[in-house]
């Protein structure tokens, strides 16, 4: 295996606990929390919110997100995808934590998610079992297994489906016992902004990914396509509350538009920059996701 480029020592955590925190990739955890918040807010507005299932859904989503991050760390190292990494350091490739420990931690996190899932299944029945199993398999298959989704241009679809449609709809279902059209529509902006984060990541890494055979959409279709994809995803996200406000005649649905100024800086970075400067674009898109998600949840609840 080729030698991995060493990150700057100043960018690496100084303690073992810090290394494990880095491995969880805390900035990505909002992608697991926002859909649960949105699904719960919608259930609350319609009188179906339940505190314990909502909390369990949040824990399950976070566990699956962390497990997916750990699996990605392990398999990207094994496949050599981190050898010329320009983004945030990965603990395996940086030599901070042994690969065997990282994949073992991923397995432990999956067990925690299964434990939460058993409770949710007792509340929501077999559909929750199906959702949980599919989510765990997809999280592993993102970079692991014989057909890793992220290596074949399916990572964007994975995020939209599982951190948008499934997460929002599943959260609503386990509390209200139904999966209405409104839950599907509400999942669209959650999924699109979550996918936009992956798009920035893939745009940043498209050159190094191409060298190791990681065929993301950015690698397959190029920079111009990826930038257009990012713009389209954000446009869909901000269009959805407008459509809901018109269809449902609820002006509070327009609250997410207050987060629009937060989209300007990441848009400029994505449209102008490549490589390491897009690290900031990732952080700013995650901030946009959090702000939009909070305002969207508030608008759905009111």
pLDDT for the residue numbered 213: 86
pLDDT digits (tens, 9 = 90+) for 184-226: 999 999 999 999 999 999 999 999 889 888 899 999 999 999 9
pLDDT at 83: 65
Q: What is the per-residue pLDDT for 248? A: 79
- Rounded to an integer, the average pLDDT of 103-118 is 95
> Of all residues in the chain, what percent carry a pLDDT higher than 70?
93
- Reading the block at residue 66, the tokens are 């962390």
Closest C-alpha to 57, from 137, 203, 166, 218: 166
Its pTM surpasses 0.85: yes
| Rounded alpha-carbon distances, angstroms, from residue 246 to 2, 45, 274 | 55, 17, 38
Q: What is the pLDDT of residue 84?
A: 62
Query: Residue 84 and residue 5: Cα distance in Å, rounded?
Result: 6
Q: String of b and e for 164-196 (b: at least 16 CB within 10 Å)?
A: bbbbbbbbbbbbbeeeeebbebbbbbbbbbbbb
Helix 126-141 vs helix 99-124: angle between axes, to the nearest 10 degrees?
160
Is the pLDDT assigned to residue 121 strictly greater than 90?
A: yes
**For residues 165 and 107, what is the distance between their CA atoms, to the nearest angstrom?**
25
> What's the pLDDT tens digit per position in 20-50?
998 888 888 888 899 999 999 999 998 888 9
The answer to whether residue 7 scores a pLDDT higher than 50 is no
Higher model confidence: residue 47 or residue 52?
A: 52
Q: Give the confidence band of 80 by pLDDT, cuts at 50, 70, 90.
A: confident
CA distance between the termini of the chain: 55
| Predicted pLDDT of residue 28 | 83
Q: Report pLDDT digits (tens) over 140-154.
A: 998 888 899 989 999
Give the model's pLDDT for residue 9.
43
What domains does the chain contain, in order, with CATH numbers? 27-301 (1.10.600)
Give pLDDT, residue 91: 87
- For 61-70, what is the mean pLDDT? 92
Task: Kindly report which listed range (10-19, 103-112, 117-126, 192-201) carries the lowest average pLDDT score.
Answer: 10-19
Percent of the chain topping pLDDT 90: 69
Q: Is residue 11 scored above 70 in pLDDT?
A: no
The better pLDDT of the pair 13, 15 is held by 15
Report, as an integer, the average pLDDT of 271-294.
Answer: 94
């Amino acid at each position: 295996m080729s030698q991995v480029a060493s990150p700057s020592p100043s960018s690496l955590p100084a303690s073992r606990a810090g290394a494990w925190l880095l491995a969880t990739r805390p900035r990505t955890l909002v992608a697991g929390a926002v859909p649960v918040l949105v699904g719960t807010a919608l259930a609350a507005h319609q009188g179906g919110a339940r505190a314990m299932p909502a909390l369990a859904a949040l824990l399950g989503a976070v566990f699956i997100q962390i497990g997916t991050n750990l699996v990605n760390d392990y398999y990207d190292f094994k496949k050599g995808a981190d050898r010329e990494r320009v983004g945030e350091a990965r603990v395996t490739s940086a030599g901070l934590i042994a690969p065997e420990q990282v994949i073992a931690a991923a397995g432990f996190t999956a067990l925690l998610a299964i434990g939460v899932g058993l409770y949710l299944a007792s509340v929501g029945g077999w559909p929750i079992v199906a959702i949980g199993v599919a989510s765990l398999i997809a999280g592993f298959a993102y970079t692991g297994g014989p057909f890793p989704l992220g290596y074949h241009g399916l990572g964007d679809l994975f995020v939209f489906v599982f951190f948008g449609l499934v997460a929002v709809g599943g959260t609503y279902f386990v509390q209200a016992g139904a999966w209405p059209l409104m839950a599907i529509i509400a999942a669209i902006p959650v999924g699109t902004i979550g996918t936009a984060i992956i798009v920035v990541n893939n745009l940043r890494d498209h050159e190094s990914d191409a060298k190791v055979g990681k065929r993301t959409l950015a690698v397959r279709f190029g920079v111009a396509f990826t930038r257009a994809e990012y713009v389209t995803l954000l446009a869909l996200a901000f269009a959805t509350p407008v459509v809901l406000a018109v269809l449902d005649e609820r002006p509070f649905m327009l609250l997410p538009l207050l987060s629009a100024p937060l989209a300007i800086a990441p848009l400029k970075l994505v449209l102008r920059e490549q490589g390491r400067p897009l690290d900031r674009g990732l952080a700013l898109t995650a901030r946009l996701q959090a702000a939009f998600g909070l305002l969207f949840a508030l608008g759905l609840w009111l």
